[in-house]
């Protein structure tokens, strides 16, 4: 037993527990002339909740994460549904599955950058709108705001949402659909009363990961976000790279780690709560 357990436990102690402990040590101190001064003060944690813009940005990042998770689930559902329920041939199913996976593995940066090309003032969308005569001047609304950040993140995470919803839908036995039809239920009734409720665990499993990844994203805000769409990871980077305020960055990190642990527990609870035993 020790043979199997010792290496991973050692690894995670050295590379997670020790660094987190150090983070804690840093968070208790402060900086003077860009140099770290050890201390035993909780002032930095208080600042997370009182000073601008920390708490506000954390909440905004959470909002963006939540919208991304919800939107990508909504966009993903019909495609997952078609693969799981409307594709009879195994090879067509496999082909559709590949079509979903390819954009998921295509480079993250490239995908964010693609939306910049599309939404920009000289982008495809504006060129098309002007070409069609809908507008004379480029529409600036598309890019550099929260909408473009959420759209880009939704685009990035939709394939993942498709995969996790599909995994759940595929497990639904055909006989459930047949039983419902046999009892006189129409398509919408089967959707609302049976298939959608059973797909909820898949939506949640994918949604939690999507939420977390979108919450901590710093690429989209820089590439397609505006001056007001800074997210928490951008703040942390600035604290380290520009302000050299290590203790503050460490405090924010610890607050987020605590939130993350809470999220893991919430996930377990939600999974138990919505579990459908097929």
Partner 1 sequence: MTTGIELRDLRKRYEGHGGAGSWAVDGVDMQIGRGQFVTLLGPSGCGKTTTLRMIAGFEVPTSGQILRDGVDITDQPVTDREMRMVFQDFALFPNMTVAENVAFGLKTRRMKGRFGAAEMRRRVGEYLDLVHLGTHADKRPHQLSGGQKQRVSLARALITDPDVVLFDEPLGSLDAHLRKVMQIELIRLHRELNKTFIYVTHDQDEAMAMSDAIAVMNGGKVQQFGTPREIYDRPTSRYVAGFIGHAHIVEASVVESGASGLSVRLGNGEVVRLDAPASLQRGEAVGLMLRAEDLSLAKPGDGELHGKVSDSLYRGEYIEYVVDLKGGAGTVHVHEPTHAAPFAHGDDVALKVNPAKAHVVGGA
Partner 2 sequence: MRAFGNRPFVLSLASLVLFFLYAPLLVIVVFSFNDSSYTGLPFNGFTLHWYADLLSNRQIMGSIWNSVYVAVGVVILSVVFGLPAAIALDRYEFPGKGIFRRIVMLPIVLPGIITGVALLSFYLTLNLKLSLHTIMLGQGTALMCITITEVFARLQQMGKSQTEAAVNLGANDWEVFRHVTLPGVRSSLFGAMLISFSISFDEIAVTFLLTGRENTLPMTLWSLLRREVTPEVNAAATLIIAVSVVLIVIGMYASRGKGAAGSEGR
User: Does residue 173 bind partner 1 (CB under 8 A)?
Assistant: yes
Binding partner at 53 among partner 2, partner 1, none, C-beta below 5 to 8 Å by kind: none
User: Does residue 248 bind partner 1 (CB under 8 A)?
Assistant: no
Minimum CB distance to partner 2, residue 43 (Å): 18
Minimum CB distance to partner 2, residue 52 (Å): 20
User: How far is Cα 97 from Cα 84, in angstroms, rounded to an integer?
Assistant: 10
Q: 107 vs 227, which CB is nearer to partner 2?
A: 107
- Number of residues in contact with partner 1, rule: CB under 8 A? 20
User: Does residue 185 bind partner 1 (CB under 8 A)?
Assistant: yes
- Are 143 and 120 in contact by the 8 Å Cβ rule? The answer is yes
Binding partner at 193 among partner 1, partner 2, none, C-beta below 5 to 8 Å by kind: partner 1
> Hey, which bits of the chain come out as E strands?
30-32, 35-37
- What is the per-residue DSSP string for 71-106? HHHHHHHHHHHHHHHS--SHHHHHHHHHHHHHHHHS
Stretch that binds partner 1, among 58-66, 182-190, 212-220, 233-241 (CB under 8 A): 182-190
What contacts 93, CB < 8 A, 6 or more positions away?
83, 87
User: Does residue 2 bind partner 1 (CB under 8 A)?
Assistant: no
Binding partner at 261 among partner 1, partner 2, none, C-beta below 5 to 8 Å by kind: partner 2
Q: 9 vs 141, which CB is nearer to partner 2?
A: 9
Q: 170 vs 178, which CB is nearer to partner 1?
A: 178
User: How far is Cα 68 from Cα 153, in angstroms, rounded to an integer?
Assistant: 6
Give the bridge partners for 32, in sequence order.
35
Stretch that binds partner 1, among 77-85, 162-170, 188-196, 226-234 (CB under 8 A): 188-196
Minimum CB distance to partner 1, residue 28 (Å): 49
Half-sphere exposure for 11 (CA within 13 Å, toward CB): 5
Residue environment code for 2-39, b if the CB has 16+ CB neighbours within 10 A, otherwise e = eeeeeeeeeeeeeeeeeeeeebeebbbbbeeeeebeee
Q: How many helices (H) and strands (E) does the chain have?
A: 14, 2
User: How far is Cα 78 from Cα 33, in angstroms, rounded to an integer?
Assistant: 56
- What is the per-residue DSSP string for 228-257? T---HHHHHHHHHHTS--HHHHHHHHHHHH
Which of 198, 209, 213, 270 binds partner 1 (CB under 8 A)? It is 198
User: Does residue 276 bind partner 1 (CB under 8 A)?
Assistant: yes
User: How far is Cα 210 from Cα 68, in angstroms, rounded to an integer?
Assistant: 7
User: Does residue 176 bind partner 1 (CB under 8 A)?
Assistant: yes
User: How far is Cα 125 from Cα 139, in angstroms, rounded to an integer?
Assistant: 9
Stretch that binds partner 1, among 11-19, 73-81, 184-192, 255-263 (CB under 8 A): 184-192
User: Does residue 278 bind partner 1 (CB under 8 A)?
Assistant: yes
Stretch that binds partner 1, among 45-53, 116-124, 161-169, 183-191 (CB under 8 A): 183-191
Site residues, partner 1 (CB under 8 A): 173, 175-176, 178-186, 189, 193-194, 197-198, 276-278
């Amino acid at each position: 037993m020790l043979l199997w357990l010792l290496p991973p436990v050692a690894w995670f102690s050295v590379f997670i527990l020790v660094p987190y402990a150090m983070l804690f040590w840093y968070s208790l101190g402060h900086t003077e002339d860009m140099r770290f001064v050890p201390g035993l003060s909780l002032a930095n944690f208080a600042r997370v909740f009182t000073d601008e813009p920390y708490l506000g940005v954390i909440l905004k990042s959470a909002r963006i994460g939540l919208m991304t998770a919800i939107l990508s689930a909504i966009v993903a559902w019909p495609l997952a549904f078609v693969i799981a329920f409307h594709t009879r041939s195994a090879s067509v199913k496999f082909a559709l599955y590949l079509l979903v996976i390819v954009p998921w593995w295509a480079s993250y940066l490239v995908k964010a950058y693609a939306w910049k090309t599309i939404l920009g003032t000289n982008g495809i969308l504006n060129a098309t709108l002007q070409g069609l005569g809908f507008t004379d001047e480029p529409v600036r609304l598309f890019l550099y705001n929260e909408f473009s950040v959420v759209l880009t993140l939704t685009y990035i995470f939709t394939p993942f949402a498709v995969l996790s919803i599909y995994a759940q839908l595929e497990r639904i036995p055909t006989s459930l659909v047949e039983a419902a039809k046999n009892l006189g239920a129409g398509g919408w009734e089967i959707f609302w009363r049976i298939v959608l409720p059973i797909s909820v665990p898949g939506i949640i499993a994918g949604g939690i990961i999507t939420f977390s990844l979108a919450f901590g994203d710093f690429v989209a805000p820089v590439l397609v976000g505006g001056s007001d769409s800074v997210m928490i990871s951008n703040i942390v980077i600035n604290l380290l790279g520009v302000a050299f305020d290590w203790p503050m960055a460490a405090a924010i990190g610890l607050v987020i780690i605590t939130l993350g642990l809470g999220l893991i527990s919430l996930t377990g609870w939600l999974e138990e709560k919505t579990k459908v035993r097929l």
